[in-house]
Amino acid sequence: MADARRRGLPIIARNVRVARGDATLLDDVDVTIPADERTFILGPNGSGKSTLLRVLHGLQRPTAGEVLWGGAATHPSGQAMVFQRPVMLRRSAAGNLRYALALSGVRGAEAERRIDEALGEVGLRHLRRRAARALSGGEQQRLALARAWSLAPEVLFLDEPTASLDPSATRAVEDIVRDIHARGTTIVMTTHNLAQAKRLADSIVFLHGGRVTEHTPAEKFFRAPRSREAQTLLEGERL
Amino acid sequence: MSTFSESLLVAVGLIVHLDPHLTGIVLLSLRVSLTATLVAALIGLPLGAWIAVSRFPGRDALIAVLNAMMGLPPVVVGLVIYLLLSRAGPLGSWGLLFTPTAMVIAQTVLIAPILAALSRQVIADAWTEYREQLTSLGATPFGGALTLLWDTRYSLATVLLAGFGRAIAEVGAVIIVGGNIDGVTRVMTTTIALETSKGDLPLALGLGTTLIALTLILNLAAQATKSWARARFG
């Protein structure tokens, strides 16, 4: 089981460069996302966090360099992503999960079982028939997590999933991310909330100006960051 | 002014008593324009969706042509379809000239570009919002287009109404390919044109009133359905 689930890991980015027009969004990025960990991508605004996440998820093709998923250059199935602003279809809450499951080939009774389980996991079972777009921002983000949960992904990418949520909704999202990780899903997440990274991260990839300045275990990063840029950011937070 | 009010009275009488002559004309109008809208939707909506989500050389030019075709003059469409369907024309053997089918064809040609151009815009906007999420879930552009056709259904309903409105209100194309034959190809707009020139203002006005009322009722119904569905499905 463990081996079967690990076809797309580790994710290795080699010499990745992403340019859009004249702007270089990522440059010379070498990073390895190991299995089972919660890797957090940190950095100031505009440092390329979201771009790196999209490259690792295969949503964005690098201008130069390559990404390997479990040693292969073809993007694997078994990944899911939760965006900063959840995108829900004009269907019921359950209908949104059913749609995602159908796309990954899960239908019928198995799909219904997973929908029920996932909605229960995020505490939305009572809203299953509600229009997804009529839910509150926090509920929609939990629904997005339920959608990801139902797919039982090998890797879950999260792009600042709590950026527009209040503290209690943020806590709910963090708890769900913890549960998804505990079930054996590798987590790759961006945030600009350092306290959140401290609570959840196993290791930190620090980006500055489109370059990786360090990739260290979280505990070490918050105690003694190696790069000057990370030191500056952490000091700014303490003020 | 007195002519107008007198005609209006007679017109109301014709409508209230469901005058068979008038009813026949109204029903034919509806049949022709609703069929044309349906056929044009089957062509225009998938075409619009496909152009919205795909990238190919000449796409921008195609969009420009499509947008320009929204302003096709009905008489020109009528003329072209007439030439194609006339006995000496390439499709003359079908024997469709001066039949309701010819009118459906002409109106379909007239409004399919409208439906394609407007639905392309609606779906392109939605695709901007959904693209990353749908791609992340593993949808192909083709599958994504189908998903968006359903997800933008309320906006597309308005697009269909715009097409139907154009079809039922035009006179130039149907009068050329239909021939305005009494009891066969005479619809509301062609009758209004004919009766006005003959001086039968009550019938013309009765049909005019019916035409506007029908359009209004249809739009009100669509609006009500839309707000109900929006409240229900977001």
Q: Indicate yes or no: CB of A59 within 8 angstroms of CB of B130.
A: no
Q: Is residue B127 part of a domain?
A: yes
Q: List residues of A whose CB lies inside 8 A of any B CB.
A: 54, 57, 59, 77, 79-81, 83, 87-92, 99-100, 103-104, 131-134
Tokens read off for A138: 């926090």
What average pLDDT is seen over chain A?
91
Q: How confident is the model at residue A83 (pLDDT cuts 50, 70, 90)?
A: very high
C-alpha dist (Å) from residue B19 to B16, B89, B207: 8, 38, 11
% chain A with pLDDT above 70: 97
ipTM of model: 0.90
CATH number, domain at B77? 1.10.3720.10
- Sorted by where each begins, the domain ranges of chain A are 91-152
Q: Is residue B56 part of a domain?
A: yes
Facing B234 at nearest CB: one of A80, A81, A131: A131
Whether A3 shows a pLDDT value over 50: the answer reads: no
B132's enclosing H/E stretch is helix B100-136
pLDDT digits 0-9 by tens, A33-65: 999 999 999 998 889 999 999 999 999 999 999
Chain B residues touching residue A54 (CB < 8 angstroms): 132
Check CB contact of B55 with chain A, cutoff 8 Å. no
What residue numbers bound the domain in which B98 lies?
10-233
Q: How confident is the model at residue A238 (pLDDT cuts 50, 70, 90)?
A: low
Give the nearest chain A residue to B132 (CA atoms): A59
The residue ranking higher by pLDDT, A117 or B10, is: A117
Total domain count, chain B: 1
Give B153's contacts (C-beta < 8 A, 6+ positions apart): A90, B229
Q: How confident is the model at residue A2 (pLDDT cuts 50, 70, 90)?
A: very low
Do the strands A186-190 and A38-42 form a parallel or antiparallel pair, or are they unpaired? parallel
Residue reference for tokens 């056709």: B149
Give the nearest chain A residue to B231 (CA atoms): A134
pLDDT digits 0-9 by tens, B52-95: 998 899 999 999 999 999 999 999 999 999 999 999 989 999 99
What average pLDDT is seen over chain B?
91
- Contact yes or no for A164/A85 (Cβ under 8 A): yes
pLDDT digits 0-9 by tens, A209-236: 999 999 999 999 998 888 888 888 888 7
Tell me the average pLDDT across B133-154. 91
Q: How confident is the model at residue B2 (pLDDT cuts 50, 70, 90)?
A: low
Residue B46 Cα, gap to closest chain A Cα (Å): 19
Give the whole-angstrom CA distance, residue A23 versus residue A42: 20
Give the whole-angstrom CA distance, residue A115 versus residue B107: 46
pLDDT digits 0-9 by tens, A95-146: 999 999 999 999 999 999 999 999 999 999 999 999 999 999 999 999 999 9
The residue ranking higher by pLDDT, B22 or B69, is: B69
